[in-house]
């Protein structure tokens, strides 16, 4: 099924026998929800419900909602499963593909990437094209690595905003195929090698110098927030209920360290972390987010106090040097 610029591959055969299905869509697909529901109802004869809650990744499976609505299946669109996330409820994933022009992508890499030993990575929307790109590049003399990553990574070459383990440390440079700057900047900070970012929609290639400059700016911002947290007395430790973001163990360890330093802290558990919701609890001097790293790194300006990651907390309390700054990751 083609909807807008997406090719959506619903496994209809696997949906037989379910009576009530809750579907979960990322925000870009919600506009097509009613069309998807019509088709699913016609093909499955099941009751189809749609979740309106935000959905940013496969870490965020609406199992609680499915249970409370008496659904017998959760159908999650647009993300690949997280292999090491065990869920005790029937969940199926729907591939959502953004087709790309592999010849043009190859041409752009050949004309702009000088290193010949490269690692290529991408997001779920383009993952199925990586092998074809690799074959094309190998014919042109490149050595191309598509690494497997750790237990959070469903397919070789996939990167998540919280996990860059599929980036090969042995390559001279990395080519990220996808949109946005978060992933290439994160990779640049994680492996400190040249990173190119190839946007297959606008067909532009961003150079390692530009990515590195963005990474420097991000690190400066983070340094500012860590510095601004020095002297903080009251900490809010944020824990997400989302199954693949829940790091309560990390939160408890942070709280213990704060107690040893005679600082006050409060563990706040929530589904989606929103600055407004935190205001109800009064003033905090610093938030430490153990949830999706993107909340602290992308959205920090929305919070009333500095919001830092667990890695940055280590720097704050002197357990890690700033020179050893790494991206917060979930494994």
Name the site residues for ligand SF4 (rule: CB under 6 A): 56-57, 59, 160-162, 244-245, 292, 294, 330
DSSP helix/strand/coil, 293: helix
- By residue count, the chain amounts to 331
Q: How far is the CB of 53 from ligand SF4 (least distance, A)?
A: 13
Q: How far is the CB of 157 from ligand SF4 (least distance, A)?
A: 16
Residue closer to ligand SF4, measured from CB, 136 or 197:
197
Cβ neighbours around 182 below 10 Å, total: 16
Cβ neighbours around 63 below 10 Å, total: 18
Tell how many helices (H) and how many strands (E) occur in the chain.
Answer: 11, 15
Q: How far is the CB of 160 from ligand SF4 (least distance, A)?
A: 4
Q: How far is the CB of 60 from ligand SF4 (least distance, A)?
A: 6
Residue closer to ligand SF4, measured from CB, 134 or 222:
222
Residue closer to ligand SF4, measured from CB, 4 or 180:
180
Cβ neighbours around 319 below 10 Å, total: 11
Residue closer to ligand SF4, measured from CB, 18 or 287:
287
318 Rama sector, left if φ>0, alpha if ψ -120 to 50, beta otherwise: left
Sign of the four-CA dihedral 275, 277, 280, 286: negative
Q: In the chain, at which residue ranges do the beta strands (DSSP E only) sit?
A: 2-3, 6-9, 20-24, 47-50, 73-77, 91-97, 117-122, 143-145, 173-177, 195-199, 204-206, 234-240, 264-270, 286-289, 307-308
Residue closer to ligand SF4, measured from CB, 44 or 289:
289
Q: How far is the CB of 169 from ligand SF4 (least distance, A)?
A: 20
Q: How far is the CB of 54 from ligand SF4 (least distance, A)?
A: 10
Q: How far is the CB of 84 from ligand SF4 (least distance, A)?
A: 12
Pairing assessment for the beta strands 47-50 and 234-240 based on DSSP bridges: unpaired
**Closest-CA residue to 329 (of 286, 287, 297, 301):** 297
Residue closer to ligand SF4, measured from CB, 61 or 109:
61
- Please list, in sequence order, all residues whose beta carbon lies within 8 angstroms of the beta carbon of residue 156, skipping any fewer than 6 positions away: 130, 146, 147, 148, 149, 166
Q: How far is the CB of 210 from ligand SF4 (least distance, A)?
A: 22
Residue closer to ligand SF4, measured from CB, 61 or 105:
61
Q: How far is the CB of 296 from ligand SF4 (least distance, A)?
A: 11
DSSP helix/strand/coil, 106: helix
Residue closer to ligand SF4, measured from CB, 1 or 269:
269
Residue closer to ligand SF4, measured from CB, 184 or 244:
244
Task: Show the CA angle centred on residue 66, arms to residues 271 and 22, nearest 5°.
Answer: 110
């Amino acid at each position: 099924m083609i909807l807008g610029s997406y090719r959506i591959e619903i496994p209809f055969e696997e949906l037989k026998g379910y009576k009530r299905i809750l579907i979960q869509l990322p925000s870009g697909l919600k506009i097509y929800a009613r069309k998807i529901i019509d088709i699913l109802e016609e093909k499955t004869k099941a009751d189809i419900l749609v979740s309106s809650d935000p959905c940013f990744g496969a870490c965020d499976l609406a199992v609680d909602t499915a249970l409370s609505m008496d659904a017998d299946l959760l159908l999650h669109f647009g993300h690949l499963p997280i292999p090491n996330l065990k869920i005790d409820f029937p969940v199926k994933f729907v591939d959502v593909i953004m087709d790309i022009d592999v010849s043009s992508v190859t041409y752009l890499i050949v004309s702009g990437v000088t290193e010949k030993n490269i690692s290529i990575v991408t997001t779920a929307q383009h993952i199925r094209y990586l092998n074809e790109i690799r074959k094309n590049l190998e014919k042109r003399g490149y050595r191309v690595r598509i690494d497997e990553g750790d237990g959070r990574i469903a397919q070789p070459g996939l990167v998540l905003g919280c996990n860059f383990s599929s980036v090969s440390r042995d390559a001279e440079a990395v080519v990220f195929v996808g949109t946005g700057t978060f992933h290439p900047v994160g990779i640049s900070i994680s492996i400190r090698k040249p990173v190119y970012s190839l946007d297959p929609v606008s067909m532009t290639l961003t150079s390692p110098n530009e990515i590195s400059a963005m990474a420097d700016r991000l690190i400066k911002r983070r340094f500012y927030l860590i510095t601004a947290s020095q002297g903080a007395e009251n900490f809010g430790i944020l824990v997400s209920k989302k199954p693949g973001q829940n790091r309560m163990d990390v939160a408890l360890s942070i709280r213990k360290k704060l107690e040893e330093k005679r600082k006050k802290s409060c563990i706040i558990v929530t589904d989606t972390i929103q600055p407004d919701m935190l205001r109800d609890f009064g003033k905090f001097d610093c938030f430490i987010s153990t949830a999706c790293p993107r909340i602290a790194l992308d959205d920090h300006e929305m919070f009333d106090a500095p919001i830092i990651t667990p890695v940055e907390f280590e720097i704050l309390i002197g357990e890690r040097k700033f020179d050893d700054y790494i991206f917060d990751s979930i494994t």
